[in-house]
Chain A
């Protein structure tokens, strides 16, 4: 099992725990993640400015992986969405592919639609499989109640993901949590967006949206949030203290990337899973294991 590893722009600067834990878990499960220096931004930030440039950026990344003969594995839902959306259109629309290739040839590239793009969580869910992962669990996380935040681009828009799961009631992240022995918990407005995409336009709206979810997690007494996107993480983890101060609230809810949770269950040393990079304190949570 081998993939071109698409780290994305946000993780290396704001969520190294995502990368550290993903690499360590991949190693444990025999998933080879190949580093590719030629990858650039996925194209997502350009959608609002110029969709054509955004699509070309995505197509360029796809062509880089195709040249290596590898499918792409991302650890950001924004990257997964942008690359999948472009990939679907490039595979299904011959005219569009020809037009894009005319432009890609100017930089000496071409894309023939031969690869797939998957988020690391989807690689775990579909390619490795729940049963195989479960068979490697060494330490049940039975004392933890974990609330999954699916975010938006991990599974939506559903048409770019071939309707892999119900956009209103997805289950994959909860199933991934359950196999660690932890209790997956439901909560109000589970599908709500983090609001991170407009933090640079009006952060008060983002923080108000995010505080609703933190409030709901507090109500169900979740030990931690489980997420798979570094942009969502910047809102809920990096900005949780700011949200608490601005809105005069108190949450203190740890925010973990799924590979950090799985890593604990696989018996990987806590020191190798990047917990020291989490902003909201995780010591109480870790003491329950």
Chain B
């Protein structure tokens, strides 16, 4: 299958905070060699993903499952001889994917929950009664200021449009 290449893709990634050193990558493979995810599943291969970005394989990368598989352990980043911040690069790619309408359902659900409640796991009345029994202070069930943050960055609209691309 012929893949359309976008020669500007790598610069787009490099211009995002955290993406800046991707152009320095010389494909040594240190990242992939120490990656705990790649050790289990070849589908996630940071060296290869970076190569694909540099080659301009925009659609293939942004629509992929593999960008969502970085466990954010920073082993690669600590070892990279070129100071490529690989977990940050994966965040850049995922953020770009989201804007193109690709979002992994788990992350969509988490982002929606945090947007509605301000926290990732709702604290129910039941939970608070249990806390009182344990001698712990009650926790607020929601933080609504977070909804305002979502409006400021436009994440609320982005999430409601997901799947539309």
State whether A19 touches B78 (Cβ < 8 A): no
B154 to chain A, nearest CB (A): 9
B71 to chain A, nearest CB (A): 5
State whether B111 touches A205 (Cβ < 8 A): no
Is the CB of B143 closer than 8 A to any CB of chain A? yes
State whether A200 touches B106 (Cβ < 8 A): yes
State whether A50 touches B155 (Cβ < 8 A): yes
Contact partner of A45 (CB less than 8 A), chosen from B40, B94, B120, is: B120
Binds B, one of A36-44, A179-187, A258-266: A36-44
Evaluate whether A205 and B143 lie within 8 angstroms (CB atoms) in the complex, with A60-B149, A106-B152, A168-B78 already known: no
Chain B 148-161 per-residue mask, 1 if CB under 8 angstroms from chain A, else 0: 11101101001100
State whether B94 touches A9 (Cβ < 8 A): no
Complexed CA–CA distance, A39 and B98 (Å):
27
- Chain B, interface size category, equals 35 or more
Is the CB of B9 closer than 8 A to any CB of chain A? no
State whether A10 touches B120 (Cβ < 8 A): yes
A258 to chain B, nearest CB (A): 19
User: Count the A residues whose beta carbon is within 8 Å of the partner chain — how many?
Assistant: 51
State whether B68 touches A192 (Cβ < 8 A): no
Q: Which residues of A contact B36 (CB under 8 A)?
A: 192-193, 195, 209
Q: Which residues of B contact A202 (CB under 8 A)?
A: 41, 69
Complexed CA–CA distance, A119 and B122 (Å):
23
Chain B 22-56 per-residue mask, 1 if CB under 8 angstroms from chain A, else 0: 00000000000000110111000000000000000
Is the CB of B104 closer than 8 A to any CB of chain A? yes
Complexed CA–CA distance, A35 and B138 (Å):
10
B103 to chain A, nearest CB (A): 7
Complexed CA–CA distance, A200 and B91 (Å):
16
State whether A152 touches B73 (Cβ < 8 A): yes
Evaluate whether A46 and B69 lie within 8 angstroms (CB atoms) in the complex, with A41-B119, A192-B36, A193-B75 already known: no
Binds B, one of A51-59, A65-73, A134-142, A217-225: A51-59
- Which of B36, B111, B152, B159 has the most A CB atoms < 10 Å from its CB? B36
Evaluate whether A57 and B146 lie within 8 angstroms (CB atoms) in the complex, with A16-B134, A37-B140 already known: yes
State whether B121 touches A201 (Cβ < 8 A): no
Q: Which residues of B contact A45 (CB under 8 A)?
A: 107, 110-111, 114, 120
Q: Which residues of A contact B41 (CB under 8 A)?
A: 202, 205
Is the CB of A20 closer than 8 A to any CB of chain B? yes
Complexed CA–CA distance, A23 and B136 (Å):
9
User: Among residues 112 to 130 in chain B, which have CB atoms less than 8 Å away from a CB atom of chain A?
Assistant: 114, 118-121, 123, 127
Is the CB of B101 closer than 8 A to any CB of chain A? no
State whether B148 touches A152 (Cβ < 8 A): no
State whether A38 touches B106 (Cβ < 8 A): no
B160 to chain A, nearest CB (A): 13
Complexed CA–CA distance, A225 and B106 (Å):
29
State whether A53 touches B37 (Cβ < 8 A): no
Evaluate whether A51 and B75 lie within 8 angstroms (CB atoms) in the complex, with A9-B120, A12-B127, A57-B146 already known: no
User: Among residues 172 to 216 in chain A, which have CB atoms less than 8 Å away from a CB atom of chain B?
Assistant: 191-193, 195-198, 200-202, 205, 208-209
Q: Can you list 6 pairs linking A and B with CB atoms under 8 Å apart? A: A12-B139, A20-B134, A48-B94, A152-B75, A153-B72, A193-B71
Binding site for B on A (CB under 8 A): 7, 9-10, 12-14, 16, 19-20, 23, 35, 37-41, 45-53, 56-57, 60, 103, 106-107, 152-153, 156-158, 167-168, 191-193, 195-198, 200-202, 205, 208-209
3 tightest A-B CB contacts, nearest first:
A200-B106, A193-B73, A9-B120
